[in-house]
Amino acid sequence: MLRRGATILTLALIVASASSANAGWWANFKRDYHRNAQWPEPFFWQDRQAVMAPFAVQVANGWRRQNLLSDYHFDEATQQLTLAGETKLRYILTQMPPGRRVIFVQQGLAADVTASRMVSVQRASARMLPPDRVAEIQQSNLPNDGWPADDSDAVTRAWNSSRPEPRLKPGGIENGGGDSTSIK
């Protein structure tokens, strides 16, 4: 009997000390169970953000290219905006979505060229905007992959001038096309 009492007392002490040492076990079990029950959902958003992040960069670069005033929009000698440059600037300031009306000015080969371009764009935008609005203008090192509109126009005009005049075959419909037996 004494042995049985000692055994029960020893087991009680072991259980009591184990329960106090492992009190967090049940909480961890519950947390892990709920995490596993919801498993893929908490991680979808992180994966989606990782996949969508490059698209945001591509969209920003596309708007930067769209709103770029490059070498073709400035006079080579004075660095003042040409007619094409002023037209594009007006389009950016009036037709682009309001959150995308940032003007990017391509950097010149020298700092003074870039500064002259920035001043020219600031003056032109001040003339085009109401007095209470100021255009956001930033320098850009993005190269222009296009070519001047004058060159494009010259190529189109040369192609149009070398195109032969449209002609019909002589003889009309009886000799030139269709089934001549059906038309009498």
- The confidence score (pLDDT) of residue 149 equals 73
- The confidence score (pLDDT) of residue 37 equals 85
- The confidence score (pLDDT) of residue 176 equals 54
136: nearest Cα among 101, 90, 91: 101
Helix (H), strand (E) at residue 140: strand 136-140
Strand 102-106 to 136-140 pairing: parallel
pTM score of the predicted model:
0.61
- The confidence score (pLDDT) of residue 14 equals 73
Classify residue 131: in a domain, yes or no: yes
64: nearest Cα among 98, 111, 97, 105: 105
- The confidence score (pLDDT) of residue 58 equals 95
Classify residue 80: in a domain, yes or no: yes
- The confidence score (pLDDT) of residue 17 equals 64
- Structure confidence by residue, pLDDT tens digits, 109-135: 999 999 999 999 999 999 999 999 999
- The confidence score (pLDDT) of residue 184 equals 47
As for how many domains the chain has, the answer is 1
Q: Give pLDDT < 70 ranges for the chain.
A: 1-2, 15-23, 172-184
Classify residue 73: in a domain, yes or no: yes
Tell me the CA distances in angstroms from 141 to 7, 65, 70, one per residue in order.
83, 11, 10
Classify residue 65: in a domain, yes or no: yes
Name residue 48's amino acid: R
81: nearest Cα among 120, 108, 109: 120
Number of helices and strands in the chain (H, E): 7, 3
Classify residue 177: in a domain, yes or no: no
Classify residue 23: in a domain, yes or no: no
Classify residue 39: in a domain, yes or no: no
Classify residue 24: in a domain, yes or no: no
| Cα gap 156→172, rounded to integer Å | 33
Q: How far apart are the first and last CA of the chain?
A: 131
Q: What residue numbers bound the domain in which 118 lies?
A: 57-148
Token output for 92: 């950016």
- Structure confidence by residue, pLDDT tens digits, 94-111: 999 999 999 999 999 999
